[in-house]
């Protein structure tokens, strides 16, 4: 048995004990999960950004701020890891689900809202889904959420709510034609869900904003606030982050107005690092979105719960998005009746009570540039398997605690450690990728995810929710 599997089974076995401890502490908290899209490590005020994020700064200061929180380095893999508590090499979600791709997050995976519904929660999703856009069985309301408002794909025109000319905006499976920036609409719906919630049951609210993911669009007023920034992309990006922050402030205010803020656990993080060429700043971290280096998968994150967590806490232990499922279940006193072994570990005792953080390896993976890339953590070491310029990969070793900016490959200085980690990584079974980014045609054409400017063609054709897959440009499907 590999160390990786050993730690997985050990963590799985201890979850029931932690859940029973949490249950005895009092009423189950409401849980609000807020996710930003492509926000860099250096794009929040509490990391010294020039971008103003007063609400995120306030919530982070009033709760537990995570300084070593890791996601996958691309959208869909992170969302799948959040929903399943399983690494991408196990689910096969190793890249974004593109608009023409038929499949989604495998149907034999049990998802986060299903666990919480079993625990008596009402479950609602708002914003970006990106876990299977086409076949209805992959859609949120068939995966445990009681309602869904938002869009199925990974990006869209934030004002027109279109992707390649078709409207991708819906409520519970039916297209809705609304005006306004997606950030404001998502925040408004989250507020509505809080106000109209079932007061006889705890609430699980998943709010996945599409900002600040490209295309770069914000109000003229917000952009004007950053007139001092010369670079146009950075200026609009900064405005998007500020409007995201204001949307989160609306959600926090709604919790206060509903008098449930004191018993609400709010979790915030970005789905991956930012793209510098699209306006983001990952601070001193190496790399960015789509990279196995720190800038691609180490993101701003915190938890805020006035009656459950001590304000002003800085959590320095490594934690990954995969750990959120067992950790939140433990916080809620809920059972983890999993269909398949959960890779994530329960960090709740460490976060809430200062207990030792659970130890063990962690694996962050994605498919990009035609190869599988990995960040494998074991102890204080990080093994990076990254795409090279010859169509293959190269392995690098970092003493990540003492070299967080990954400036020095120490594989030759520590050959035994390097060899051991390579062997461990190679021994871990890896599913075939079921979501392929490389098959997207015209990534940089109008409407593509690498364009910073929006595709402004007028909405046309049958709205997406009613029409199924967008036709593949060449007339066939990947």
Tokens of 30: 């409401």
Domain range summary for the chain, segments of one domain joined by +: 3-360, 363-427
What's residue 182's pLDDT?
Answer: 98
| pTM exceeds 0.75, yes or no | yes
What's residue 476's pLDDT?
Answer: 44
| β-bridge partners, 124 | 147, 205
CB 135 within 8 A of CB 104: yes
Secondary structure of residue 445 in the 3-state scheme:
coil
What's residue 338's pLDDT?
Answer: 85
Residue 158 falls in the annotated catalytic set: no
**pLDDT-flagged residues of the chain (< 70):** 1-26, 436-444, 468-478
Secondary structure of residue 187 in the 3-state scheme:
helix
Residue 130 falls in the annotated catalytic set: yes
Q: How far apart are CA 353 and CA 69, in angstroms?
A: 18
What's residue 23's pLDDT?
Answer: 38
* Helix-helix angle 54-61:232-257, to 10 degrees: 50
Tokens of 306: 């006035």
Catalytic residue among 47, 72, 124, 130: 130
Residues 161-164: contacts with CB under 8 Å, at least 24 apart: 161/459, 162/455, 162/457, 162/459, 163/99, 163/447, 163/464, 163/470, 164/99, 164/447, 164/455, 164/470
CATH superfamily placement of domain 3-360: Alkaline Phosphatase, subunit A (3.40.720.10)
What's residue 448's pLDDT?
Answer: 78
What's residue 14's pLDDT?
Answer: 44
What's residue 451's pLDDT?
Answer: 87
Q: How far apart are CA 73 and CA 92, in angstroms?
A: 15
Residue environment code for 310-332, b if the CB has 16+ CB neighbours within 10 A, otherwise e = eeebebeebbbbbbbbbbbbbbb
Report the 10 Å Cβ neighbour count for 221: 9
CATH 3.30.1370.10 for domain 363-427, yes or no, is no
What's residue 478's pLDDT?
Answer: 41
| Integer CA distances (angstroms), 161 to 9, 104, 135, 164, in order | 43, 22, 20, 10
């Amino acid at each position: 048995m590999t160390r990786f599997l050993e730690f997985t089974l050990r963590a799985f076995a201890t979850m029931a004990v932690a859940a029973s401890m949490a249950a005895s502490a009092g009423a189950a908290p409401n849980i609000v999960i807020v996710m930003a899209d492509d926000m860099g490590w250096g794009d929040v005020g509490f990391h010294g950004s020039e971008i103003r994020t007063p609400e995120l700064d306030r919530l982070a200061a009033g709760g537990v701020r995570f300084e070593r929180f890791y996601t996958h380095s691309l959208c869909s893999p992170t969302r799948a890891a959040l929903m399943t508590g399983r690494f991408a090499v196990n689910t096969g979600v190793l890249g974004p689900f593109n608009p023409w791709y038929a499949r989604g997050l495998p149907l034999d995976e049990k998802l986060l809202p299903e666990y919480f519904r079993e625990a008596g929660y009402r479950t609602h999703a708002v914003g970006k889904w990106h876990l299977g856009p086409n076949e209805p069985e992959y859609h949120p309301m068939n995966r445990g959420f009681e309602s869904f408002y938002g869009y199925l794909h990974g990006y869209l025109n934030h004002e027109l709510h279109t992707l390649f000319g078709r409207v991708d905006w819906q409520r519970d499976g039916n297209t809705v034609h609304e005006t306004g920036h997606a950030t404001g609409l998502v925040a408004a719906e989250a507020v509505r869900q809080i106000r109209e919630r079932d007061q006889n049951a705890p609430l699980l609210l998943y709010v996945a904003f599409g900002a600040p993911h490209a295309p770069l669009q914000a109000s003229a007023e917000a952009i004007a606030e950053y007139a001092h920034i010369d670079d146009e992309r950075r200026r609009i990006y900064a405005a998007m982050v500020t409007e995201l922050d204001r949307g989160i402030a609306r959600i926090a205010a709604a919790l206060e107005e509903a008098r449930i803020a004191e018993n609400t656990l709010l979790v915030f993080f970005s789905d991956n690092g930012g793209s510098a060429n699209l306006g983001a700043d990952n601070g001193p971290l190496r790399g960015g979105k789509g990279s196995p280096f720190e800038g691609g998968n180490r993101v701003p994150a915190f938890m805020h719960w006035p009656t459950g967590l001590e304000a002003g806490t800085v959590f320095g232990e490594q934690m990954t998005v995969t750990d959120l499922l067992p950790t939140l279940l433990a916080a809620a006193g809920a059972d983890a009746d999993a269909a398949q072994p959960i890779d994530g570990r329960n960090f709740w005792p460490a976060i809430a009570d200062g207990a030792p953080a659970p130890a063990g390896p962690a694996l962050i993976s994605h498919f990009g540039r035609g190869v599988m890339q990995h960040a494998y953590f074991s102890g204080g070491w990080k093994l990076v398997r990254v795409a090279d310029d010859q169509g293959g990969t190269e392995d690098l070793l970092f003493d990540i605690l003492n070299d967080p900016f990954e400036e020095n490959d120490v594989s030759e200085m520590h050959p035994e450690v390097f060899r051991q980690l390579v062997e461990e990584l190679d021994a871990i079974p890896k599913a075939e990728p079921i979501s392929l980014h490389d098959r997207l045609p015209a990534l940089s054409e109008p409407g593509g995810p690498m364009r910073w400017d929006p595709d402004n063609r007028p909405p046309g054709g049958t709205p997406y929710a009613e029409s199924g897959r967008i036709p593949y440009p060449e007339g066939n499907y990947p």
